[in-house]
Structures are given as structure tokens and as C-alpha cells.
Amino acid sequence: MTEFALEVFQNEYVADGTTTMDAIVTVTARGGAPIVAGEAAEILIIDTSGSMGEGSGRIEAVRQAAAEAVDGIRDGVLFAVIAGTDQVAMAFPAWGNGLVVADPVSRRAAKDAVRALVAGGGTNMSGWLRAAHDLFASSPARMRHAILLTDGENWDHPGELEATLEQCRGVFQVDCRGVGTDWVVHQLRAIASELLGTVDIIPEPEMMAAEFRRIMEEAMGRAVASATLKVWCPAASSINFLRQVAPEVDDLTDKATVEGRHRLYPLGAWGAESRDYHLSLTVPANEVGVEMLAARVHLATDEADVGPAMVRAVWTDDNTVSARINPEVAHYTGQAELSQAIQAGLEALKNGDERSATVKLGQATKLAVESGHDGTVRLLKKVVEVEDERAGTVRIRRDVAKADEMALDTRSTRTVRVRKNVVPDELVLDAGAPGSPGSPGAPRPRGGHVPLNTPDEVALDRSTRTVRVGGPKPRDNEDGAT
């Protein structure tokens, strides 16, 4: 059985009149065997439009990559292969047979089918996704995953893709990959974001097989079909946003469903991994001395309900504690700003606004260096010449390869975790340290109850240099007061 851990990182102390509370919620999954084969399903969605036959060796590489992916499907997993153009064709099995069970015989037949794929026609991703939806919906599988590969721009009717994604949301997940440089990043990003997947570029056809093997290995190793983050707020609080911030930035705010005072956020399937989420709340303005429960967080899966983890707010007039920014919150706020700066800079560059592009990509370079995001720094240096990385002084390169620009765009949402042992000591709320709040002889923040200063409620994690919220569960009053 997979074991989940749920942690909240925050600075509880806020100044008199403050109405915003931010916290980082970390979810970690450990152990667990891959989900039972009969409860898993996999579909390969392969673009076979005419452009796939134009590049040197591209359709041959597609055939090889698809065959490698089929080889990676575990015995007992239900699967199919869709060949997509402006129409939808079943490469394997034939129409009307639904998904088939993977075994040596069916995998061999599927590989024979994908090796016979031919290129021709246009690109209608909405049709491909609807076909996958119908196949998944007719199966008993709980974990439903697809890989979508394309090399071109989607050409369907206005609004059709958005309507299709609404239909597919919650039915299956999709990892999207674009090969070459003629596809459109924001189209695949929209699909991946709505369907809880990833997007990336495969610059050269010969790289497809290795990427397909990696994606399939990850999909086959997942142990939990779906998880949901449940956030309860008292009547006096509300949620501004919930955003995944590691390993990639993805805004989940609009994906929530409502059950009473709970907001339920889908997190998709899980293997052995850890993810971080930024929860931002609006709380009522309160006077010094007031403490309230701002939110309560649970994680729900088919196997267990984990939590609660508490987000609290304590109003104080002691600026030495209220002015401290929690290092996790500060780090991931910067990572979100980095992603936004890259995308804004590339959009300005596309629109011919070099001045704005230079400013935004310079800002991105500075943020990437400060946060230790070395991979993004390397990608940025293929688009800009860096004169002073600490100051963010850059110039746009005159010889930017389109593949490098698209790689920077697709990977702009990737983040790095909080770096260990680099948080300044002045940011650490060390209960019991000489002179710290709650230590013997030290003054307490005026006006109140300070819940983090008792041994049962404080666990100082020196590896992350932050306070881990714990302790007894506060009363669930509608107004959150404790």
C-alpha cells in the first residue's frame, strides 16, 4: 500500500490587519506496488498527418517509438493505438474491439500495426481526444493514461478543442510531446494542463523512442490511480488560488469541485514521488491576539484519507516574527514569477517587441540564477547573451534556433525544489533558541496565544530550515476561531 505524507509550511504570524495567508503544502508518496494490470489502461495517440512524411526519417522514427512504447506496456494492461489525421483511425485493434489486454501476442500484433503506419491528411486533435475518451469510458480501468505525439498545429473549429477538453477532464490523463518545431506550444500545454499531464519538445525524430520508453516506464510504475486534495475553509476565509509549484507550475484553482465548505482539487495518478502546492487564502482582518484556523487540508485516495494538516493565522504586533517570509513560500513565489517572465518574454519576442522581450528574459535570468535553476539558465543562454546574470542584464541573440526557443517555452513551467541549508538564520523560527519567541526569558508576541511555542506543537526540521506545522486539531468552528 502506498503511504502518503502531508505537510504544511508557513509563517503563522501576521501583522495587525493582514488579510492574506500563504502556505506550501507538500504531498509525498512512498512505496506501493504498481496498480493491478487489469485496472490500468494506456492509449497511444500518434499523429500520422502528411507532415510526418515530409521530414527525413520522421515517420520511420514514429513507427519505432510507438513500437518501443508498446513493448513497455505490462501484461494485463488494457491498451490501443490511435492514428490521427483530420480523421481518426484505429491502428490497433480494429474499430469496435475497444481496448485489448496486453500480452506477448497482442503486443506483437500492435507492433506490426504501428510499423505499417503511413503519413497523410491533416491534424484534428479534438477528434483524437474524443476517440480516446470513448475507448477509456468503455473500459473498467481506474488508471487511464495516454501519450499524444504530434508534429503540427491543431486545425479544428474554434472552441472545439476547449469543449473536448471539458468532456475529457477527469476521464484520463495525457502526456503530450511535440516533435520538431512546427507544432504550437500553447496548444499542447492547454491539453496537458487540463488533463493533468506534461508537455515537452522532442527536437529530433531519433529522440522519440527513448522519450516514449521513459514516459511508458513512469506510467506503468504508478501505484495510485487518482488522488484529491481537499481544502476546507471556515466561513470567514476563502481560497485565492491553489497552484502546483513542483515539479512543475500548474494552476489548479479552476479545476476544483465544491462540496459544502470543501474545495476538491484533482491531483491525478501517483507513483513514488513528492509534489508541492502553493495555497493562498484570504482571511478576515483581525486584531492583535486573535488566532484562527484558516484552512484544513486532507489528501484523499481510493486507499486512504491523509491529514488533516492545518493552516493557521496568528495576529501579532511583533514585527520580528510577522515580517519573516517563509522560505518555501518565497522560493515558489519566485519560481512562478520565473515561469511567467519566460513566457511573457517569448511572447514579446514573437510579436517583434524586442525591448519588452529583453526586460522579461533578463528578469527570468536573474530569478533562475537566484533560485539555482541551472537547467533553465542553460536554456535561457541559448536565447539571450548574458552580460550580468546577477543583475539580469541580457541581449537577445540574433541566431536563436526555433527548437531552443520552443524548449525554453515548454520547460518554463519546470521548477526546482527549495535548496537545503541556504535559508538565512534570521528566517528560522527556532522555538527554544536563545532570544527566539517562546524561549525562556524571551518576550512573546504581544496579545496572545502562541501555539507554535509548546513542545507538542513544534517540530523544527533543520534540513529545510523551517517550522513544520503540527499539534492538536483546533475546533472546527465556522468562523475558524480557536
Query: Where residue 319 sits, what CATH number does that domain have?
Result: 2.60.40.3670
73-89 residue pLDDT tens: 999 999 999 999 999 99
| pLDDT at residue number 419 | 53
Has residue 185 been placed in a domain? yes
Using the predicted structure, report yes or no on whether residue 471 has a pLDDT greater than 50.
no
| pLDDT at residue number 418 | 73
Please say which residue of 395, 410, 425 terminates a domain. 410
Task: Tell me the pLDDT band of 480, cut-offs 50, 70 and 90.
Answer: low
Has residue 482 been placed in a domain? no
Rounded Cα distance between 345 and 329, Å, is 24
The proportion of the chain whose per-residue pLDDT surpasses 90, expressed as a percent, equals 82
Buried b (16+ CB within 10 A) or exposed e, 160-190: ebeebbeebebebbbbbbbbbeebebebbbb
CB-count exposure of residue 53 (10 Å: 0-12, 13-18, 19+): middle
Question: What mean pLDDT, rounded, does the chain reach?
Answer: 88
Nearest in space to 280 (alpha carbons), one of 245, 314, 246:
245
Please say which residue of 220, 239, 270 terminates a domain. 220
What is the average pLDDT across 451-457? 31
Query: Where residue 337 sits, what CATH number does that domain have?
Result: 1.20.120.1690
Distance of CA 160 to the CA centre of its chain: 25
267-295 residue pLDDT tens: 999 999 999 999 999 999 999 999 999 99
What is the average pLDDT across 247-259? 96
Q: Do 243 and 341 fall into the same domain?
A: no
pTM comes to 0.86
Q: Are 122 and 19 in contact (CB under 8 A)?
A: no
What single-letter amino acid sits at 38? Answer: G
- Write a three-state SS string for 272-340: CEEEEEEEEEECCCCCCCCEEEEEEEEEEECCCEEEEEEEEEEEECCHHHHCCCCHHHHHHHHHHHHHH
| pLDDT at residue number 477 | 45
402-450 residue pLDDT tens: 999 999 999 999 999 875 434 433 333 333 333 434 333 444 444 333 3
What single-letter amino acid sits at 406? Answer: M
What's the domain count of the chain? 3
Question: CA-CA distances (angstroms) from residue 415 to 76, 302, 314, 360, 418?
Answer: 35, 29, 30, 18, 9
* Of residues 405 and 463, more confidently modeled: 405
Q: Are 223 and 271 in contact (CB under 8 A)?
A: yes
Task: Tell me the pLDDT band of 23, cut-offs 50, 70 and 90.
Answer: very high
Q: Do 293 and 377 fall into the same domain?
A: no
What single-letter amino acid sits at 456? Answer: D
Domain of 346?
333-410
Which region among 56-60, 231-235, 382-386, 403-407 has the lowest average model confidence (pLDDT)?
56-60
Q: Do 205 and 237 fall into the same domain?
A: no
Task: Tell me the pLDDT band of 386, cut-offs 50, 70 and 90.
Answer: very high
- Write a three-state SS string for the chain: CCEEEEEEECCCEEECCCCEEEEEEEEEEECCCCCCHHHEEEEEEEECCHHHHCCCCHHHHHHHHHHHHHHCCCCCCEEEEEEECCCEEEEECCCCCCCEECCHHHHHHHHHHHCCCCCCCCCCHHHHHHHHHHHHHCCCCCEEEEEEEECCCCCCCCCHHHHHHHHHCCCCEEEEEEECCCCCHHHHHHHHHHCCCCEEEECCHHHHHHHHHHHHHHHHCCCEEEEEEEEECCCCCEEEEEEEEECECEECHHHCEEECCEEEEEEEEECCEEEEEEEEEECCCCCCCCEEEEEEEEEEECCCEEEEEEEEEEEECCHHHHCCCCHHHHHHHHHHHHHHHHHHHHHHHHCCCHHHHHHHHHHHHHHHHHCCCHHHHHHHCCCEEEEECCCCEEEECCCCCHHHHHHHHHCCCECCCCCCCCCCHHHCCCCCCCCCCCCCCCCCCCCCCCHHHCCCCEEEECCCCEEEECCCCCCCCCCCEC
Has residue 477 been placed in a domain? no
Rounded Cα distance between 244 and 201, Å, is 21
Has residue 476 been placed in a domain? no
| pLDDT at residue number 55 | 73
Which region among 51-65, 116-130, 358-372 has the lowest average model confidence (pLDDT)?
51-65
Task: Tell me the pLDDT band of 263, cut-offs 50, 70 and 90.
Answer: very high
Q: Do 176 and 45 fall into the same domain?
A: yes
Q: Do 286 and 350 fall into the same domain?
A: no
Please say which residue of 220, 253, 269 terminates a domain. 220
Work out the widest C-alpha separation in the chain, in whole angstroms. Answer: 79
Q: Do 125 and 57 fall into the same domain?
A: yes
The C-alpha cell of 249 is what? Answer: 507550475
| pLDDT at residue number 303 | 82
| pLDDT at residue number 426 | 34
Has residue 57 been placed in a domain? yes
158-211 residue pLDDT tens: 999 999 999 999 999 999 999 999 999 999 999 999 999 999 999 999 999 999
Has residue 86 been placed in a domain? yes
Cell numbers 505499417: residue: 116
What is the average pLDDT across 363-377? 95
What single-letter amino acid sits at 314? Answer: V
Using the predicted structure, report yes or no on whether residue 336 has a pLDDT greater than 80.
yes
Has residue 289 been placed in a domain? yes
Rounded Cα distance between 252 and 228, Å, is 11
Query: Where residue 160 sits, what CATH number does that domain have?
Result: 3.40.50.410
| pLDDT at residue number 188 | 98
Q: Do 308 and 229 fall into the same domain?
A: yes
Q: Do 8 and 78 fall into the same domain?
A: no
Q: Do 98 and 189 fall into the same domain?
A: yes
Q: Do 75 and 169 fall into the same domain?
A: yes
Q: Do 87 and 202 fall into the same domain?
A: yes
Q: Do 272 and 386 fall into the same domain?
A: no
